[in-house]
Amino acid sequence: MAKPISIEVWNPSGKHRVVSTKSMPGTRWIRLLTDQDCRVEICTEKKTILSVDDILALIGDRCDGVIGQLTEDWGEVLFSALRRAGGTAFSNMAVGYNNVDVTAANKYGVAVGNTPGVLTETTAELAASLSLAAARRIVEADQFMRAGLYDGWLPHLFVGNLLKGQTVGVIGAGRIGSAYARMMIEGFKMNLIYYDLYQATRLEKFVTAYGQFLKANGEQPVTWKRAATMEDVLREADVISLHPVLDKTTYHLINTQRLSIMKKEAILINASRGPVIDEAALVEHLKANPMFRVGLDVFEDEPFMKPGLAEQKNAVVVPHIASASKWTREGMATLAALNVLGKIKGYPIWSNPNSVEPFLDENSPPPAACPSIVNAKQLGLPVSKL
């Protein structure tokens, strides 16, 4: 028999039972569910990552839908249990769903939701923050001050890299990659080189227009170039930010060989997915090249770092906080809740999951639709005409 799991209950008499495996920011998501006759149960266990057995206990004998987290292993066991309990809806509170076996969800007829469209700017801002922190050695300098080691200004003390006029490289120029590029170009007047399977026309037009603006005002114009290969970006850029999807073609995209062709004082940023970097190879590269710097928000074996990474002063590491702005996290919670609610209510699927502003407007009711269901086509779910 599964052990009891501590929970917080909202609207105990609600008709539809919805479980959230974690407390989530804000209260709007709770209100949206309870207003639609849902009983909401929020797990309050003091565990960072719930086990499959923990989640089985939460699902119990009757459950209409679950809001889960990307740290959880959603596969055959959980989807079969959810279906036996009468559930047909699951949503990650995340845009990614590498933790979800979508094939298993399809087998049991469970809709899988995610939360795109709300993370773009905040993730790009974190990547830009890591870029600046690494370039100017901010974390090292902060630790130096806190240790009481500062006894006066010195010409060589924490000399870092100037970003203005340098080249920023973007690998994966989708929504987040393009937003990051715009921040670095407009903020620091950096030139752009990018690699993507698809042409980033809007980004190119932005850089061209901004370059013309600078020239008209007597400043050096910025430039852009679409690289023929990823290696071209690695060789030419002073700061490289990774924004690819994670699949078998991008696993260990950055490895020993590709690290070796980067500039000795280059800065590498990853706020996408941890396994796109061979982290053990990165540790060795950081050791051998003290002026090479890295900013990481994600890790290959998260939540763990590869041995030696934590000791490298030329590494800035943060605990997967790219989406951790109040507005974004509350928006993610809202979208996840509405994915589950929409499936329970039989609503159609929103036609553009990257255009979710109508769901986030607190001054009006959200559309009667599921914001984003990744397996909608496989399940034959209808698309909204709204």
Q: Look up 285 and say whether it is catalytic.
A: no
Q: Give the integer Cα–Cα distance in Å for 297 and 117.
A: 20
Residues whose CB falls within 8 Å of the CB of residue 7, separated by 6 or more in sequence, listed in order: 41, 42, 43, 44, 58
Query: How buried is residue 91: exposed, middle or buried, by Cβ count under 10 Å (0-12/13-18/19+)?
Result: buried
Tokens representing 369 are: 């639709």
Q: What 3-state class would DSSP assign to 304? A: strand
Query: Is 100:74 a contact under the CB 8 Å cutoff?
Result: yes
Residues whose CB falls within 8 Å of the CB of residue 129, separated by 6 or more in sequence, listed in order: none
Q: What 3-state class would DSSP assign to 308? A: coil
Sheet arrangement for strand 111-113? 7-10, 38-43, 16-20, 65-68, 89-92, 111-113
Q: Look up 252 and say whether it is catalytic.
A: no
Q: How many CB atoms are located within 10 Å of the residue 200 CB? A: 22
Q: Which of 186, 231, 284, 302 is catalytic?
A: 302
Q: Which of 17, 273, 293, 329 is catalytic?
A: 273
Q: Look up 140 and say whether it is catalytic.
A: no
Q: Which pLDDT belongs to residue 385? A: 81
Q: Give the integer Cα–Cα distance in Å for 225 and 269.
A: 20
Q: Which pLDDT belongs to residue 1? A: 40
How remote is the C-alpha of 119 from its chain's centroid? 7
Q: Which of 83, 235, 252, 320 is catalytic?
A: 320
- pLDDT per residue rounded down to tens, the chain (386 residues): 456 789 999 999 999 999 999 999 999 999 999 999 999 999 999 999 999 999 999 999 999 999 999 999 999 999 999 999 999 999 999 998 989 999 999 999 999 999 999 999 999 999 999 999 999 999 999 999 999 999 999 999 999 999 999 999 999 999 999 999 999 999 999 999 999 999 999 999 999 999 999 999 999 999 999 999 999 999 999 999 999 998 999 999 999 999 999 999 999 999 999 999 999 999 999 999 999 999 999 999 999 999 999 999 999 999 999 999 999 999 999 999 999 999 999 999 999 999 999 999 999 999 999 999 999 999 999 999 87
Q: Which pLDDT belongs to residue 386? A: 76
